[in-house]
Amino acid sequence: MMSGRGVVNRLAMVIAAALGCAVAAAPLRAEDGYALWLRHAPLEGEALADLRAAAPVVVAPPGEDDSPTLKITRAELAQGLAAMQGETKLRATPDSLPIVLRCGRARGDGQSGFAIAPQAFAGRRALAISAPDHLGCLYASFALLREVALGRPLHAIRLGEAPAMPLRMLNHWDNPDGHVERGYAGRSIFDWWRLPERLDPRMIDYARANASIGINAVVVNNVNARAFMLEPRYIAKLKRLADAWRPYGIRVFLAARFSAPIEIGGLARADPLDPAVRAWWQAKADEIYAAIPDFGGFLVKANSEGQPGPQDYGRSHAEGANMLAAALGNRGTVIWRAFVYKAEDATDRTMQAFAEFVPLDGQFAKNVIVQVKNGPLDFQPREPFHPLFGAMPNTRLMLEVQITREYLGQASGIAYLGPLWQEVLGADTGRGGGVVAEVIAPVGMAGVANTGSDRNWTGTDFDQANWYAFGRLAWQPALSSEQIAREWAAQTFTRDPQALGTITEMMRASREHVVNYTGPLGLAHLMGTGHHYGPAPWVCDLPRPEWNPCYYHRADKDGIGFDRTARGSNALGQYAPAIAAQWADPASIDLRYLLWFHRLAWDAALPTGRSLWAELVARYDAGVAGVDAMAAQWGRLAGALDAARHAAVSADLAIQRREARWWRDASLAYWQSLNGLPLPEGAAPVAESLEAYQARNFPEAPGQ
Ligand code: BDP
């Protein structure tokens, strides 16, 4: 009897024959993006023949401990390898290649490395996976599947890997009511309301995706935290998640509101030196550990953007952090954010974190980490690296990047962030501690998550690549972002070398296009108020000066840019002398940072041979042209990829083309209203009037 699918296939052939078109040998599967980079699409050609000939089987030698993690490891290997053979199950043959798991019993500490190499087993050729602990074996199995997915024959796989940093963490800005701050992929994936009884199966798929790229820690709630998430009912919910994720090597953390002792503890104050406050946190920590013995700890946003903190009581960040650290003891970690700035502080906003934190170097308890954003402002499309890196040698510093694209187009088009993160990881701090990746190596890296309830997890298909690249770079910052793009695309879309070349090239260039059409030459923070969607460089009337775009660009009829040299705010003085010297001279500074550090006349001559104004226009145009080129490249891939995702990305790119033009035109219209200059010859005219751009209004924009 013919199966249901057989009937459908037969029908498809009959219809295709009737229509006179050829039936493809390997029809493209219908895809909805849910499987992420773990599709395990069947191999083709020689690679398929190789894998079938190897006929791998998974073997755990007797005596090995079993554990939930090992069970998952075996299942992942078996299912992934079978799927790539186009089968549902592995089939042993007399010549089967054993894949032997040799997993030790060390306690996982986030440093679970592994080796994969040929080895004899029971007198025959085998491939051995060895790791000091079970989690290392799980990581190895995902690495092995990745290699196979990329077309590498099993017998040629030799890997020895260890993560570059212990903490590889996602920070969710998800609220308990399901809204995600700066989320553009639907509602929160965490169904707090129905926990602890109901665990959405998606929570397992989420953990699995994270484990496949080495992510080992998750802060489940927004840094703008609600105190009630520390109540017993939420501890029970969190425990359910922690239990589900433990086999995947993921530890849970909570963002904690500093004033929780007042809001849910009935105390009058949250002063960190008050014994009653200390006792409250101690009891709270004990209560959490009783439910979740491997609870990771607290993430805290304090005295920043209106959040409560120790300064409300005249105490320092260190006193606040150390109080919580004492409550956790050696069981967990306090991650204290350095993202602080104040309206009342008249100094350059980009200098305030450095000024507040450097004097505290050496004062933080051992189990405190200070989490520092990649740049000194706020996740802009491009910023110089944060001067705190390298400047607090006696403090454990962790890097925070944003995977969700709050300032890089949000849910539109393609902006692959690998190059952005690589830029900061590779930045030389000039302070002896080496590049940023070296400074944070003993600690870790956090990424603000971009997941949501959308079927494909991240809103656009290409934003999956940002989640993927974050994990891969936290595991190994030395990987090239281009290599990561290629391996992601090969697992996610197609192994066809030509298509892969095109996709990788699109991804490589995409972030620079966004920089060019939103804020070229070091401009930043020019976006719409509140929702941060679209251009609004004209905004200058917000009550907090440092929330205004005009605070950052400082443009008028004479020129544009923020003078951060010694003549201006001297933010440059916060960098190591060698770095500051490189950037101090507008004639020699890397043009990417020109207007970040310098204010120049519109007609200043640049090393490119153009005036500043002509260069700005050229870069806006390059951004727009870059997006057009991506859309054209993608268009040519029709037929090489599954139709559903091809169409979805085409639509994403159409949105991005519209928005790139809007950014360019609105920005140029505004700059022209100040400088009175005509556009250089050949430049396309601005489509609408400045007033028309200023009148656009988006009260419903997502993610606020
Ligand atoms: C800004 C976001 C805001 C966050 C803040 C933070 O606009 O929603 O709360 O960062 O990092 O970029 O705390």
Check whether residue 266 and residue 140 sit in a common domain: no
- 207/253 same-domain check: yes
619: CA distance to ligand 1 center in Å?
28
Looking at the structure, tell me whether residues 624 and 483 fall in a common domain: no
Which atom of ligand 1 lies at the shortest distance from residue 182's CA?
Answer: 8
Q: What sign has the CA pseudo-torsion 447, 452, 456, 462?
A: negative
**What pLDDT digit, counting tens, does each position of 7-36 carry?**
333 333 333 333 333 333 455 677 999 999
Confidence of residue 105 (pLDDT cuts 50, 70, 90): confident
Nearest CA to ligand 1 atom 9: 224
- Determine the pLDDT at residue 362: 98
Question: For residue 581, is it within any domain?
Answer: no
Q: How confident is the model at residue 503 (pLDDT cuts 50, 70, 90)?
A: very high
Which residue from 224, 340, 350, 400 has its CB within 8 A of the most atoms of ligand 1, so it is best to mutate? 224
Ligand 1 centroid to residue 393 C-alpha, Å: 26
| Ligand 1 touching residue 525 (CB < 6 A) | no
pLDDT at residue 543, rounded to an integer: 92
User: For ligand 1, is residue 181 a contact (CB within 6 Å)?
Assistant: yes
Instruction: Please work out whether the CB of residue 301 comes within 6 Å of at least one atom of ligand 1.
Output: yes
Percent of the chain with pLDDT over 90: 92
137 with 84, same domain?
Answer: yes
Q: Do 90 and 207 belong together in one domain? A: no
Ligand 1, atom nearest to 378 Cα: 12
Strand order in the sheet with 98-103: 57-59, 98-103, 124-131, 114-121, 159-161
Segment 334-346 shows an average pLDDT of: 94
DSSP summary character for residue 699: T
Gap from CA of 680 to ligand 1 centroid (Å): 37
Could you tell me how far CA 102 lies from the centroid of its own chain? 32
Q: Confirm whether 274 is a catalytic residue.
A: no
Q: In angstroms, what is the span from residue 416 Cα to ligand 1's centroid?
A: 20
DSSP strands (E only) in 356-395: 368-373
Same domain (yes/no): 636, 614: yes
Q: Pick the catalytic residue: 50, 274, 305, 438?
A: 305
Here the CATH number for the domain that contains residue 122 is 3.30.379.10
Q: Are residues 462 and 525 in the same domain?
A: no
- Would the CB of 182 count as within 6 Å of ligand 1? yes
Residue 2 has pLDDT above 70, yes or no: no
pLDDT of the residue at 111:
78
Ligand 1 mean position, distance from CA 411 (Å): 17
Say how many CA atoms lie within 13 Å of 591 toward its Cβ.
15
Atom of ligand 1 nearest to the CA of 532: 7
Q: Which residue has the tokens 């057009």?
A: 628
Q: Has residue 611 been placed in a domain?
A: yes
Total length of the chain: 704
691 is a catalytic site residue: no
Per the CB < 8 A criterion, the answer to whether 90 and 119 are in contact is no
Give me 304's structure tokens.
């920043």
What confidence score (pLDDT) does residue 62 get?
Answer: 67
Q: Establish whether residue 378 lines the binding site of ligand 1, counting it when its CB lies within 6 angstroms of any ligand atom.
A: yes
- Residue 373 Cα, ligand 1 centroid: separation in angstroms? 11
Same domain, 244 and 263: yes
Whole-angstrom Cα distance, residue 172 to residue 179? 11
How close is the Cα of 36 to the center of ligand 1, in Å?
A: 27
Residue of minimum CA distance from atom 1 in ligand 1: 378
**511 located within any domain:** no
**Mean pLDDT of all residues belonging to the chain:** 94
- Ligand 1 pocket, mutate which of 179, 223, 303, 399 (most atoms under 8 A from CB): 223
The CATH number assigned to the domain holding 615 equals 3.90.1330.10
Q: How confident is the model at residue 63 (pLDDT cuts 50, 70, 90)?
A: low
**126: CA distance to ligand 1 center in Å?**
51
List the alpha helices (DSSP H) in 524-593: 549-553, 577-584
- Position 575 in a domain: no
At 207-237, the pLDDT tens digits run 999 999 999 999 999 999 999 999 999 999 9
- Under DSSP, the state recorded for 545 is G
Residue 587 domain-assigned?
no
CA of 402 to the centre of ligand 1 (A): 10
Q: How far is CA 605 from CA 72, 581, 610, 614, in A?
A: 61, 21, 6, 10
Tell me if 379 CB under 6 Å of ligand 1: yes
pLDDT in tens, 520-536: 999 999 999 999 999 99
Q: Last residue of a domain, which of 124, 146, 161?
A: 161
Q: What is the pLDDT of residues 655-702, one digit of tens each?
A: 999 999 999 999 999 999 999 999 999 999 999 999 999 999 999 999
The whole-number pLDDT of residue 24 equals 38
Q: Does 411 share its domain with 325? A: yes
Same domain, 146 and 172: no
Q: State how far the Cα of 5 lies from the Cα of 23, in Å rounded to an integer.
A: 16
Which domain-ending residue is among 474, 489, 504? Answer: 489
Contact 517, 624 (CB under 8 A): yes
pLDDT range class, residue 66, cuts 50, 70, 90: confident
Q: How far is the CA of 596 from the centre of ligand 1 (A)?
A: 20
Output the 3-class SS for 116-128. Answer: EEEEEECCEEEEE
- Asked if omega into 62 is within 30° of 0 (cis), the reply is no
Give bridge partners of residue 373 from the DSSP assignment: 400
CA-222 nearest atom, ligand 1: 9
> Tell me, what's the pLDDT at 14?
33
Which of 135, 161, 187 lies at the terminal end of a domain, its last residue? Answer: 161
Residue 494 forms part of a structural domain: no
- C-alpha count within 13 angstroms, C-beta hemisphere, residue 655: 14
**Tokens of residue 464, six digits:** 């999956």
If you search the block for the tokens 């520092």, which residue do you land on?
Answer: 372
Q: Is 378 a catalytic residue?
A: yes
Domain containing residue 203: 167-489
Ligand 1 within 6 A of CB of 282: no
Do 198 and 110 belong together in one domain? no
Same domain, 231 and 270: yes
Nearest CA to ligand 1 atom 11: 339
Indicate if ligand 1 lies below 6 Å from the C-beta of 224. yes
Q: Whose CA is nearest to atom 2 of ligand 1?
A: 182
What is the count of structural domains for the chain? 3
Domain assignment present for residue 389? The answer is yes
Catalytic residue among 406, 423, 454, 461: 406
Catalytic residue among 147, 378, 461, 563: 378
Return the best residue to mutate from 258, 378, 531 for the ligand 1 pocket (most ligand atoms within 8 A of CB).
Answer: 378
CATH number at residue 335: 3.20.20.80
Cα angle at 187 between 186 and 190, to 5 degrees? Answer: 135
Model confidence band, residue 377 (pLDDT cutoffs 50, 70, 90)? very high
Residue in 487, 482, 554, 479 with CA at minimum distance from that of residue 523: 554
Q: What percent of the chain has pLDDT over 70?
A: 95
Residue 576 lies in a domain: no
Task: Please tell me what DSSP assigns to residue 252.
Answer: E
In degrees, rounded to 5, the angle at the alpha carbon of residue 283 between the alpha carbons of residues 282 and 285 is: 65
Six-digit token string for 51: 């894998």
